[in-house]
Structure formats: structure tokens, C-alpha cells
Amino acid sequence: MNDTINHINFDVESIRKDFPILNREVNGKPLVYFDNAATSQTPRQVIDVIVDYYTNYNSNIHRGVHSLSQEATDLYEQARLKIQEHVNAKYNHEIIFTSGTTHGINLVATGFSSLLKPSDEVLVSALEHHSNIVPWQMLCERTGALLKVIPMNEEGELVIDTYENLLSEQTKLVFVNHISNALGTINPIETIIKKAHKVGAAVLIDGAQSCPHIKPNVQELDVDFYVTSAHKMCGPTGVGMLYGKEEWLRKLPPYQGGGEMIAEVTFEKTTYADLPHKFEAGTPNIAGGIAFGAAIDYMNKVGFDVIATYEHKLLEYATAQLLAIDGLKIYGTAKEKTAVISFNIEHIHPYDIGTILDKMGIAVRTGHHCAQPIMDFYKIPGTVRASFAFYNTKAEIDALVQGVKKAKMMLS
């Protein structure tokens, strides 16, 4: 396994030098960061862009004729173009800057409040993060539409036959994550989108967990909406993007009112700006947007194919090593999954394991991972989740395995 990893044209030690935080210690131990599904770490190339913005051209955008404003505007709009190219959107105005995935989902959910009626139905999968459940519940409460759930099986995969049976002429919206944050399952979104479109339903894909590992092609997918966050893919927190097909973005009303999203304002009537500004009220996270573009540049330079191959080898190695521990069970064993392992050890609470690992400098996530219905399905309070990135190593996985063994010995 180690030989296979080493033969990939990828120098992980060189990559690790780009991430200053990986040099620090936690509780007197070298940091082992396995909470990448929550937030990835940020390379100095992106940090430098943020510092450069505030040092050299901090200014509001789109509104000023002075040089700083024009420089900031140009760099911000260049970042939009980078995102457009990255996801292969047809038009740059189909890319809406948001504060993150949750913002993008709520923008769409609120917009559909004026388009749904009580006889309509919306489908959401059993594998969703709370951010892709609660907004749709709120939408159904506002409109009277019916929320239906696409079930999952023991392996953590969606039951596609049941999904097909749930679809009907009443189905107006389908919401599914590309990859499960709790289990790592890669959902067959191409099939899901195609079948939804056959009954005239629109589809929103939560790409928060996929974009760090997969380069989505929104035109090829023919998806109606796709959302993600920069902080999952080596960028800053507080910024993300919503891709929406132009035809849908023109149908939806503005999400917020204020500056930037208007064409003309009088006390009698306000007319709205064209896309994308219609959905971008107020002063945005300018430094974050520019840094989002820099993060995409960085990951593309590393190469998404290389990232996916390397992370899959880490996943295979970690899975084999962890399963060798007596009493350890992995939740989420889909044939197609990304570098996430959720596990428990029988008779030991996941929080206790996570606490001991932290004392050893190993950062994992414990709990229900904002995916409580998944935990209810398995009848467990939560899991220990180790999520890997391309800057992690086999040696760090060995440290995790030894840490879990120590936790088991202490807590049994």
C-alpha cells in the first residue's frame, strides 16, 4: 500500500510545507488534522492573498471610480470567472457569491416560496446535512408542499428504486448532497438529476463535501443549482458560491434587499439589478471572494485527479488498519465513497474517544455531524469521524490507529 502511494507523482511533504498550521503542536504533540470534512486547512498562497488585499487595495467594490475600488472590483470579478471555469458554468452571471453552502441553499429555498403550492412535493435524501433538510422543511411549512425522503440502506447508499417510485408530476424539487459529510458516500447524482428532470423537477446538489475532491461539471451534470463553501477547499470561511442555471435565477425573486442588488430605487417602486447582482445585496466578503479564487488556483495546480487518487489510497489504508482493531465498526461502506471514515468502538461513547485523541494532538470530529437522521437510522448517538485531505500522510494514519487503540484500552 505504501509503495502504491509513493509511486503517485505527488510530493506530500512538499505540499505540507504550504500549510503553516501543520507545523504546530497540540497538547505537546505534533498536530494530526483529520477534521477536513468540517474545515480544510489554508495554504500560505491563499493566506498571502488575504493579507495582500487588506494591505494594498482594501476598498468597496462595484461602486467607486477611484483606483483602489477598481482594483478590488477587478480581482473580485476575476475570482468569479475562476469559479465559473472551475465548475464549467455557461455564464459568469450564473455564479452567485454567498457566505457559504447554507446561505446558497436558503437563497434557493426562500425563492421557491413564491413558486410552490400545497399540492406540490419536494424530495430530500436521508443522507443530508441539516443545512439541506431544515430549509426545505421551512419551505414546506410556508407553502403547504409535502416533504418526502429518499431512504438509505445499511451501507449508507441511497435506495434509487424507491427514489424512482417517489417521483411524480407533483415533484417540483429534489435535494441531494453530492457526497455525504457523515459517511463519505458519493451519491449517483447524474442518475438522480436525469430522473428528476423526466418529471419536470428542478435539482439542487449540495457540493460542500464534493468540491474538495471532485471537480464538478455543472453543464455536463445538467444540474439546476449547485452550492459549495470555500472553507472546505483550502479557502477562507464566510464565503461560498451558488451556481444556478440562468433561467432559474431569473425566475427566483431576490433573497435580500439593499445596496448592489438594485437598478433604480424610488419610494414608489424599486427595480432590481441584473444577474448576478440581483442576489448579492450589500458589501460582500471581498477578501474572501478573491481568496476563494486563489484557493481554486492552488487546488487546480496540485491537480484534482492527483488529489482524488492520493486520498483514495489513504482511505484504503486507514480502512484496513482501523478494521483490524477488535470491536471497531465503520458506518458507511458504500462502493463509491470519498476519504471519510465514521466509526465507533462497541460500548465506548465516541466523545470519549475523541477527547483522548485530542490529548494526543489528533483532531477528529465526534457527534452526529449535523446529520442526525443518519445516526437515528443506525440507532447510535454519533460516531468518530476521521476525514482526510491531500496533505495528510500514512504516518498520521498510523498515529490515529495507535491513538484509537490507546483510547480503547483506557476506556474499556
Which pLDDT band holds residue 168 (cuts at 50, 70, 90)? Answer: very high
Higher pLDDT, 253 or 286: 286
pLDDT, one tens digit per residue, over 25-36 is: 999 999 999 999
Amino acid identity, residue 389? A
Phi-psi label, residue 168: left if phi above 0, alpha if psi -120 to 50, beta otherwise: beta
Task: Give the residue among 144, 100, 114 at the shortest CA–CA distance from 235.
Answer: 100
DSSP state of 171: E
Distance between CA atoms of residues 8 and 384, nearest Å: 29
Cβ–Cβ under 8 Å, residues 238 and 288: yes
User: For residue 129, is pLDDT > 90?
Assistant: no
| Least confident stretch, 10-24, 265-279, 355-369 | 265-279
Q: Which residues contact 402 (CB under 8 A, 6 or more apart)?
A: none
The confidence score (pLDDT) of residue 5 equals: 42
pLDDT, one tens digit per residue, over 315-339 is: 999 999 999 999 999 999 999 999 9
**Active site (catalytic) residues:** 370
The confidence score (pLDDT) of residue 64 equals: 78
Distance between CA atoms of residues 290 and 50, nearest Å: 8
User: For residue 285, is pLDDT > 70?
Assistant: yes
Phi-psi label, residue 136: left if phi above 0, alpha if psi -120 to 50, beta otherwise: alpha
Could you tell me the domains of the chain? 2-39+303-411 (3.90.1150.10), 48-301 (3.40.640.10)
pLDDT, one tens digit per residue, over 74-101 is: 999 999 999 999 999 999 999 999 999 9
**All 3 cell numbers of residue 171?**
415533484
Distance between CA atoms of residues 260 and 110, nearest Å: 19
DSSP state of 272: E
DSSP state of 285: -
The pTM (predicted TM-score) of the whole model is 0.94
The confidence score (pLDDT) of residue 274 equals: 76
User: For residue 9, is pLDDT > 80?
Assistant: no
Burial 252-275 (b: 16+ CB within 10 A, else e): bebbeeeebbbeeeeeeeeebbeb
